[in-house]
Structures are given as structure tokens and as C-alpha cells.
Amino acid sequence: MANTIEYAKIFQEELDKAAVAEATSGWMEVNRSLVKYSGGNEVKIPNVVMDGLANYDRANGFVAGSVDLSWQTMTMTQDRGRAFQIDENDVDESGFVLAAASLMGEFQRVHVVPEIDAYRYSAIAQKCMDGDVAVYSYTPAESTILKALLDDIAAVQDIVGESTPLIISISTPVLNILNNSDKLSKKLDVTDFSQGDVAVKVKSLNGIPLRSVPSARMKSKYTFNDGKTSGQEKGGFTAAADALDINWLVTPQNAPIAVSKTDKMRIFDPETNQKARAWGWDYRRYHDLWITKEKLKTCRANFKQAKPAEDEEST
């Protein structure tokens, strides 16, 4: 019998690649090179604060400045998983490999990737709300959308300058307003956009990629079902009753730091599986997203609904 550990290793590597390639937020994982990861659910992310320029003194030379490089240990709060089985009478060993690859690919496409996307966008939205870098009460319309979008871009570029690469994560129905307008669509270009090993063509505005995101993944808050509580047995995620609709998020491409890891996938043959005469496998994924305090200042979130009352009271 083939080594099931090797099967698990192959599946794990392919699922990690696919998660980056298929998620609309996969570009955020490029920034994981900035983090230290040594396994498990903890990572260390850098936060750099430096002094600005000072006058040079011809007699005494340079004025000393300080560089504060601190590494924050962060825990990936999203620890999600499922166990699956295929009866041994349904597939033989070779059939299991094909069936498992097909099923896990479908599981990842339908359930895992949308959940990762939803979590990331909602996390950015909440951080923008907490950091007071958000715009509320804007319902996109053909007559106003271009100005509203350019205003948010300008607010970010006013901080980072025009040379810093930005990306706009925009709800698909909102992007369609631009696409479906004869006047506005002329303002858009098509540009190549890469995430992981995959290059895709996306619309862009003034050279800034517009990453279209299904509206179901663009909410400010979600419930991530635990699979056990009544009504949550199917798992997955649902938008919270008080969630706001995100029109778009404008961020420097290097601001969100996302990490997603398939954790030591396990596969059991029917002789080893203690639960049933079946092929079984355990799927577990850690993931999370962070933005440092300095980078958060350079982001903007735009919401359709008004600012939540509790946020109004706290300001």
C-alpha cells in the first residue's frame, strides 16, 4: 500500500498553492514574506518606526536617529477544519487518490476560499472602522461613483504618495456600475495582475488594479459557524445581522499581511481508520490577517450603510 503520508504531503502543498491562486485576496499572501513562521498557529510580524531627517552639522556630523524594529507575536485566530470519509467499497486505493483530489479541490473552491476571502475583507473593514479611516453612507450610483472612488484614492495617496502600488478590492455589483456605463467604462483599462503563480487580467483605474470580489464576501462582520451549535452544523460562514456592505477597500499592496496554512493534513487507509472501514482524511487550516498600526493609516474602507451607533458613541 502506498505511503499515505506522501499523499497528505502532496495534497497539502497543492491546496496551499490553490488557496493563494483562487482567493480574490490571494495577493495579500505575497506579503507573508514579511513574517516569521515556524509552524503551528503563531507568527511574528514586524513593526518599524523611524525618526525623520535632521540637519547635518559640519562640525559634529550626523544627528543620531532611532529605529524601533519590534516583532509582535500574533496568533492565527482562525483554526478551522473538517474530517471526511469515503467507504472502502466505493473506491480502491487508486480511486481514492482521484476522488480525494477532486473532492478536496471542490471543497476548497466552494467552502474554504470564500471563507478566507470573507474573513480577510471583514478584518480589514473592522480595522478601518476602529482606526477611523472609513467612509460611511455612500450608495454607489453612476453619477457619483467615480468621484467617490477617486476621493478615497486621493486620501490614501495623500499619505503614501503616487509611487506606492495600491489595490482596490471592490464589490462586484459596484464594479459593474463602472463597467456598464459607456462614459465611466472609458476611464478603465485592463491590466495584468499577479498573485502567487497565477496572472489574471483585471480592470484598473489610473493604473490601480480593481480586484472584483463577490458581494457575499464583502461584509464588515461574519459568523463563522462552529459545526456543532444548533443551526451551525453545516459549518461555513454567514453575514452578521448588523454587517455593513463594503463598497470597496483601498490599500497599499504591502499593507495587509495574510497567512494561510494547511496544517499537517492526515490521511488514513481503511486498515488504519478507527472510525469506519473507509478512507479518511482530516483537513485543518490556520489563517489570519494583520495590518500594522503604521500601515493602517494608509488604508480606506467605503461602506454603503451609516456608521454603527456604538462607533458613533465611542468617537
CATH of the domain at 148: 3.90.1690
- Of the listed ranges 34-38, 41-45, 157-161, the one predicted with least confidence: 34-38
Q: What is the pTM of this model?
A: 0.82
Is residue 192 situated within a structural domain? yes
Is residue 167's pLDDT more than 80?
yes
In this prediction, residue 315 carries a pLDDT of 44
Is residue 54 situated within a structural domain? no
Is residue 183's pLDDT more than 50?
yes
Is residue 61 situated within a structural domain? no
Average pLDDT of the residues in 82-93: 76
Nearest 5°: the CA angle 304, 288, 121 is 15
| Residues shown for the chain | 315
Query: Nearest CA to 152 among 140, 142, 182?
Result: 140
Percent of the chain with pLDDT strictly greater than 90: 49
Kindly tell me the burial class for residue 110, based on how many C-beta atoms sit within 10 Å of its own C-beta (0-12, 13-18, 19 or more). Answer: exposed
Q: What is the mean pLDDT of the chain?
A: 85
How far the first Cα of the chain sits from its last, in Å, is 64
Range of the domain at 211: 4-49+70-314
* More confident: 39 or 88: 88
Is residue 89 situated within a structural domain? yes
pLDDT tens for 114-150 read: 999 999 999 999 999 999 999 999 999 999 999 999 9
Phi-psi region of 231 (alpha: psi -120 to 50; beta: other; left: phi over 0): left
Is residue 277 situated within a structural domain? yes
Is residue 292 situated within a structural domain? yes
Total tally of structural domains belonging to the chain:
1
Average pLDDT of the residues in 206-226: 96
* More confident: 155 or 111: 155
Concatenated DSSP letters of 95-118 = HHHHHHHHHHHHHIIIIIHHHHHH
Is residue 254 situated within a structural domain? yes
Is residue 62 situated within a structural domain? no
Kindly tell me the burial class for residue 123, based on how many C-beta atoms sit within 10 Å of its own C-beta (0-12, 13-18, 19 or more). Answer: buried
In this prediction, residue 155 carries a pLDDT of 97
In this prediction, residue 2 carries a pLDDT of 46
Average pLDDT of the residues in 74-89: 82
